[in-house]
Amino acid sequence: MLRVINRQIALGMYSLDGRLLQAWRSLFIQASNFYPDIDIPKVVVNSIEDLVILDNNTCISHICGLPLLDRFSKCLIPLCAPQFNIPGVSGPHYFSYYVVRHDSDMKSVVDAKGRIFAANSLCSNSGLNVLRHEIKAALNVCVEDFVSKIHYTGSHHLSIQSIIEGVSEFAAIDAATYEYLCVMNPIYRTQLRIIGQSYQSAAPPLVTHKNSPFCDPQLLTNALNSALNSLDQVTRNTLNIRQFHKVKLDDYTSQILD
């Protein structure tokens, strides 16, 4: 019996709940309908696990730019990245909000010296690396010497919960994720306060295998933009994406701290 190979797309980066995952699925299904020659897989999995991303049957994955450079540059290449519909964002870029509890005495990141910082992951650009860059540039110290403790939570959502519960005192939250989470949990807009935002860097890219690229980057970009423009308004609002842009590996090199 012939073994059926189940090709898939891994979209765990921003699939924070079932509603968002379905919106991403709808986007790729529509892209497949518009560009049947690309033969985009119909199976979408909600994962950012290394084993899934590196699986030969995973044609496209959505990952953070920092691990793309740090760990995957020899085996993965970027195709395109979203431009989120967030004020101040230009092109395929994003930034992080520095967030505290509403009753915190902190007014800016400078006030965070000696505080407990919640980070979603050691290898996250938006959750840790942006603060690392800013503290280095402003004070010429490493973030570990600036804060009293880094509390690793596992996700931006858990970092927010850590702040609300008083376990941590501030965090850097990907602005796109923050907006998604505030839609899911409107009370966050009153429980939390933004005290600043990071510099902009290249947004998390959709990537493919370097040794066997799934498709041409511009072709996928065109397909996703055509699909995005044809989606119903509710799904477009859910995704909160203005458009997709073709990106290359060099766009992410600024995320590496010298």
For residue 241, the domain's CATH number is 3.40.190
The confidence score (pLDDT) of residue 154 equals 95
**Residue at a domain's end among 167, 199, 231:** 199
Of 95, 70, 59, 81, nearest in space to 194 by CA = 95
pTM attached to this predicted model: 0.93
Same domain? For 106 and 183 the reply is yes
Same domain? For 134 and 215 the reply is no
- Whether residue 189 is predicted with pLDDT greater than 60 in this model: the reply is yes
> 52-78, pLDDT tens digit by residue?
999 999 999 999 999 999 899 999 999
**Residue at a domain's end among 160, 179, 199:** 199
170 is a domain residue: yes
Same domain? For 21 and 115 the reply is no
Asked if residues 26 and 231 have their Cβ atoms less than 8 Å apart, the reply is: yes
* Residue 36, both tokens: 């049947």
| Domain enclosing residue 45, as ranges | 8-84+203-255
CATH number of the structural domain spanning residue 153: 3.40.190.10
Same domain? For 194 and 109 the reply is yes
Q: How far apart are CA 123 and CA 68, in angstroms?
A: 10
89 is a domain residue: no
Same domain? For 187 and 236 the reply is no
3 is a domain residue: no
Q: Can you name the residues that pair with 38 across neighbouring β-strands?
A: none
Q: How far apart are CA 171 and CA 168, in angstroms?
A: 8
Q: How far apart are CA 250 and CA 258, in angstroms?
A: 15
Of 162, 188, 190, 166, nearest in space to 177 by CA = 188
**Residue at a domain's end among 180, 199, 218:** 199
90 is a domain residue: no
* Average pLDDT over every residue of 102-120: 95
Q: How are beta strands 43-45 and 8-10 bridged, if at all?
A: parallel
Same domain? For 66 and 104 the reply is no
Reduced to 3 states (helix: H, G, I; strand: E, B; else coil), residue 30 is: helix
* Average pLDDT over every residue of 227-250: 97
* Residue 96, both tokens: 């992080």
The confidence score (pLDDT) of residue 22 equals 96
Count of structural domains within the chain: 2
**What is the DSSP-derived secondary structure letter of residue 118?**
E
Asked if residues 133 and 66 have their Cβ atoms less than 8 Å apart, the reply is: no
Query: CA dist 7 to 41, 55, 69, 80, 144, Å?
Result: 6, 10, 25, 20, 41
Same domain? For 207 and 195 the reply is no
Same domain? For 62 and 102 the reply is no
